[in-house]
C-alpha cells in the first residue's frame, strides 16, 4: 500500500507541484496576496487603477458587487476562453482567480482612505512596486499563469505577437472599464509604463528552478 501511495503521489502530485513544494506554495500565495494588496493601494490612491481593475471597478459601480467579486468572476470567465485557445490551467491559475479577488476586497476594507495628495501619490508608487514584486513571486513559483496572462499567451500561440496581444487586451479592458465608470488617470499610465521594467527586476530574483535533482527521473 505504501508503494502504491508513493507511486500515486509521484504521478498525481509531482507534475502539479514540483519540488521544492513548500517554498513554491509559500511564494505563490505570498505573491497573490501582495497582488491583491497592490490593487487595493492603487484604488485607494484614486489616481487611476491598474487596467484590469479599471474594468472591475466599472463593473462594481454598475452592479453593486465588490471589485474583488468581479475580479473572481472575470477571471473565471477568462478561463472559459482558454478552452478554444488550448491553454491548460495550473494550481497557480486557479488560486489566482480566487485569492486575488478575496484579498483585494480585504485590503480595500482594511486600508484607510487617503486624505492628501501626497499620501495618494505614495500609495500609487507603493502599489506599483508591490505589484511588480507580487508578479515576480507568483510567476516565479511556476505553478501556472494567471487567467489574464494565459489569455495573452494563448493569443500569442495563435500567431499574435506578445506585445500586440497584451496591448489589444489591455486597451479593450481599459476602454470598457472607463465606459462603465472605472477610474483611469495618471496612475493607470504610471502603472503601464513602470510595471514591465520593475517586474523584470523581480522575476529573476523570485524564479524557482525548473527542475531539481530530486525531481529527475530515476534510472
What is the C-alpha separation between 70 and 58, in angstroms, rounded?
10
Give the model's confidence band at 211: pLDDT under 50 very low, under 70 low, under 90 confident, else very high.
low
- Kindly report, residue by residue over 161-182, the tens digit of the pLDDT: 767 887 888 889 999 999 999 9
* 210, 52, 32, 149: CA torsion to nearest 10: -10
Per-residue confidence (pLDDT) for residue 202, from 0 to 100:
87
Q: Is residue 5 over pLDDT 50?
A: no
* 32, 162, 199, 66: CA torsion to nearest 10: -40
3-state per-residue secondary structure call for the chain: CHHHHHHHHHHHHCCCCCCCHHHHHHHHHHHHHHHHHHHHHHHHHCCCCCHHHHHHHHHHHHHCCCHHHHHHHHHHHHHHHHHHHCCCCCHHHHHHHHHHHHHHHHHHHHCCCCCCHHHHHHHHHHHHHHHHHHHHHHHHCCCCCCHHHHHHHHHHHCCCCHHHHHHHHHHHHHHHHHHHCCCCCHHHHHHHHHHHHHHHHHHHHHCCCCCCHHHCCCC
What would the mean pLDDT of 142-155 be, rounded to a whole number? 84
Greatest Cα pair distance in the chain? 65
- Kindly report, residue by residue over 16-62, the tens digit of the pLDDT: 577 888 889 999 999 999 999 999 999 999 999 999 999 999 999 99
Give the model's confidence band at 111: pLDDT under 50 very low, under 70 low, under 90 confident, else very high.
very high
Which one, of 138, 81, 131, lies nearest residue 104 by Cα? 131
What is the C-alpha separation between 189 and 64, in angstroms, rounded?
26
Percent of the chain with pLDDT over 90: 52
Query: For the chain, what are the domain ranges?
Result: 22-208
Per-residue confidence (pLDDT) for residue 2, from 0 to 100:
44
Which one, of 189, 168, 147, lies nearest residue 49 by Cα? 189
What is the C-alpha separation between 18 and 163, in angstroms, rounded?
30
Give the model's confidence band at 196: pLDDT under 50 very low, under 70 low, under 90 confident, else very high.
confident
Mean pLDDT of the chain: 85
Q: Read off the C-alpha cell for 137.
A: 513571486
Per-residue confidence (pLDDT) for residue 82, from 0 to 100:
85
- Report whether 68 contacts 104 (CB < 8 A): yes
**194 vs 67 pLDDT, higher one:** 67
What would the mean pLDDT of 176-202 be, rounded to a whole number? 90
CA dist 114 → 15, 69, 74, 110, 130 (Å): 45, 23, 27, 12, 18
- Kindly report, residue by residue over 63-99, the tens digit of the pLDDT: 999 999 999 999 999 989 888 888 888 899 999 999 9
Per-residue confidence (pLDDT) for residue 195, from 0 to 100:
83
Per-residue confidence (pLDDT) for residue 209, from 0 to 100:
72
Amino acid at each position: 500500500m505504501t508503494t502504491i501511495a508513493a507511486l500515486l503521489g509521484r504521478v498525481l502530485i509531482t507534475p502539479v507541484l514540483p519540488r521544492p513544494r513548500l517554498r513554491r506554495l509559500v511564494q505563490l500565495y505570498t505573491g497573490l496576496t501582495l497582488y491583491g494588496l497592490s490593487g487595493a493601494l492603487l484604488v485607494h490612491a484614486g489616481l487611476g487603477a491598474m487596467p484590469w481593475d479599471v474594468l472591475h471597478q466599472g463593473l462594481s459601480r454598475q452592479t453593486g458587487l465588490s471589485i474583488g467579486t468581479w475580479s473572481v468572476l472575470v477571471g473565471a470567465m477568462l478561463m472559459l476562453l482558454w478552452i478554444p485557445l488550448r491553454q491548460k490551467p495550473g494550481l497557480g491559475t486557479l488560486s489566482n482567480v480566487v485569492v486575488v479577488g478575496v484579498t483585494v476586497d480585504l485590503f480595500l476594507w482594511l486600508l484607510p482612505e487617503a486624505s492628501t495628495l501626497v499620501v495618494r501619490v505614495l500609495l500609487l508608487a507603493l502599489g506599483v512596486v508591490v505589484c511588480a514584486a507580487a508578479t515576480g513571486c507568483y510567476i516565479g513559483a511556476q505553478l501556472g499563469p494567471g487567467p489574464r496572462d494565459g489569455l495573452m499567451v494563448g493569443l500569442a500561440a495563435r500567431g499574435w505577437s506578445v506585445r500586440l496581444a497584451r496591448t489589444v487586451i489591455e486597451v479593450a479592458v481599459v476602454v470598457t472599464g472607463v465606459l462603465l465608470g472605472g477610474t483611469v488617470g495618471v496612475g493607470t499610465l504610471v502603472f503601464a509604463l513602470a510595471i514591465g521594467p520593475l517586474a523584470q527586476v523581480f522575476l529573476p530574483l523570485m524564479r524557482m528552478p525548473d527542475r531539481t535533482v530530486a525531481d529527475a527521473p530515476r534510472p
